[in-house]
Structure 1
C-alpha cells in the first residue's frame, strides 16, 4: 500500500513561520502530517512566505497536481489583503480554480478562514477596520467555495485562540509553536471526524516556551523592521486613504455603507464564478 500523500499550499503560515526548528521552519502542516496515518506519510510543503492567491494558482497548484495528493491544504488570502492590488473578485476566481482543479483530481481539500491582520497587529481602529473588512470578505469567499466544493473547512478566524498571547509568535502575526500545534490538533480532529486521519493526534503542548516581550522587541528591531518597511512601501499609501475614508464615513454616521459595499463586492465575486462554472459546463 502506498503512503498517504499530503501537499500543503499557502503562505508563511503554512510554511511554518513562527515555529522554528533547526534548519528552518516547521509549522502546523508538518506537525499534522505524521498523524494522518499509522504508516509513513508522504508530505510536501509547497507554501512560500509572502504568497498570494495568484502564487498558489500559478505556481503551487501545478506542482500539487503533479504530486497527485490524497489530501491538500489550501490556506491563503492574508497577503492579498495587505496589498494595494487587493480585489475580492480576483481572489474568488483564483480560489475557485484552485479548489476545482484539486477536487476534480480526487483530492480531499482542507481549507481555513483566518483572523484579520489588523487585529493581530493591534492597529488603531481606522487602520484596522479596512483590513478587517478585507479579511472578512476573503473568509466569506472561502466559506462559500468550501461549501461548493465540499472541502473540510476549519473555522479559525474568530476563535478565543486569537486573543491568547501564548498562541502567537513575537511578530504578533504568525502563530508560535503553541499556535501551530493548536492548528494541527484542530485539523486532525476535523480529518479524524471524516475518517481521513487514523494516526494519533499531534501533541498540543509546545517544546519551547512562548516568546516574551524582549523577543518581540528583538523581532521588531531586526527582521520586523524589514517586514514593516516592505508592507509600508506597498500598502501604507492605500491604507491611509482607506483610513481617511473610514473616518469620513464615521463622522457622517454612514460607516454601514462601507460594510454594505464590501458585502456587495463579495456577492458579485461569488456570482461571477458561479456564472463562469455554468458557462463552462454548457
Structure 2
C-alpha cells in the first residue's frame, strides 16, 4: 500500500514561519503530518512566504497536481489583502480554479478562514477597518467555495486562541509554536470527524517558550522594519485613501455602506463563478 500523500499550498503561515526548528520552519502542516493514522505519510510543503492566490494558482498548483496528493491544504489570501491590486473577483476565480483542479483528481481539500492582519497588528480603526473588510470578503469566498467543493474547513478567524499572546510569534502576524500547534490540533479534530485522521493527534503543548516582549521589539527593529517598509511601499498610498474614505463615512454616519458594498462585491464574485460554470455546461463523454 502506497503512503498517503499530503501536499500543503499557501504562504508563510503554511510554510511554518513563527515555528523554527533546527534553523528551519516547521509549522502546523508538518505537525499535522504525523497524525493522519497508522500508515506512512508523504508530506510535501510547497508554501512560500509572501505568496498570493495568483502564486498558488500559477506555480504551486501545477507542482502539487504532479504529486497526485490524497490530501491537499490550500490556506491563502492574507497577502492579497495587503496589496493595492486586491480584487475579490480575481481572488474568487483563482481559488475556484485551484479547488476544482484538486478535487477533480479526488484529493481531499483542507481550507481555513483567517483573522484580519489589521487587528493582529493593532492598527487604529480607520486603517484596520479597510483591511478587516477585505479579509472578511476573502473569508466569505473561502466559506462558500469550501462548501461547494466539500472541503474540510477550519474556522480560524475567530476564537479564544486569537487573543492569547503566547500563541503568536514576535511579529504578531504569524503564529508561534503554540499557535501552529493549535491549528494542527484543530485540523486533526476535523480530519478525525471526516474519518481521515486517527490517533491522539498533535500535542498542543509547546516545546519552546513563547517569544518575550524584548524579542518582539528586536524583530521590529530589524526584520520588522523591512517587512513594514515593503508593505507600505505597495499598500500605504491606497490604504491612506481607504482610511480617508472611512473617516468621511463615519462623519456622515454612513459606514454601513462600506460593509454593504463589500458584501455586494463578494456576492457578485461568487455569482460570476456560477454563471461561468453554467456556460461551460456538462462534460460530454
TM-score with structure 1 setting the length: 0.99
What does 1:42-81 align with in structure 2 at a 5 Å threshold?
A: 42-81=42-81
The answer for the alignment partner of 1:217 in structure 2 is 217
Q: In structure 2, what is the equivalent of residue 16 of structure 1?
A: 16
| Aligned positions of 1:80-229 closer than 5 A | 80-229=80-229
Could you tell me the TM-score, scaled by structure 2's length?
0.98
Q: Which residue number corresponds to residue 238 of structure 1?
A: 238
Counterpart CA distance in 2 for 1:110 and 1:91 is 17
User: Any unmatched runs of 5+ in structure 2?
Assistant: none
- Secondary structure at the residue paired with 1:35? coil
1:34–1:41 contact (8 Å) kept in structure 2: yes
Q: Post-superposition shift, 1:23?
A: 2.9
Counterpart of 1:262 in structure 2 is: 262
Q: Name the count of aligned residue pairs.
A: 282
User: What CA distance in whole angstroms lies between the structure 1 residues aligned with 2:199 and 2:144?
Assistant: 30
Measured against aligned partners, the alpha-carbon deviations of 1:21-74 in whole angstroms (never above 9, x if no partner) come to 113100000000010121221000000000000000000000110000000000
CA contact (8 A) 1:34 1:199 kept: no
Query: Alpha-carbon deviations, 1:124-151, whole Å to 9, x = none?
Result: 0000000000000000000000000110
**Secondary structure, aligned partner of 2:34:** helix
| TM-superposed deviation, 1:198 | 2.1
The residue matched to 2:58 in structure 1 has which SS? helix
2 CA distance for matches of 1:160 and 1:236?
Answer: 30
Separation in 1, partners of 2:101, 2:277: 12
Structure-2 residue corresponding to 1:279: 279
SS at match of 1:231: helix
- TM superposition outliers: structure 1 runs of 4+ over 6 Å: none
Using the alignment, how far apart are the partners of 1:82 and 1:15 within structure 2? 18
C-alpha distance in structure 2 between counterparts of 1:159 and 1:81, whole Å: 21
Q: Distance in 1 between matches of 2:276 and 2:227?
A: 37
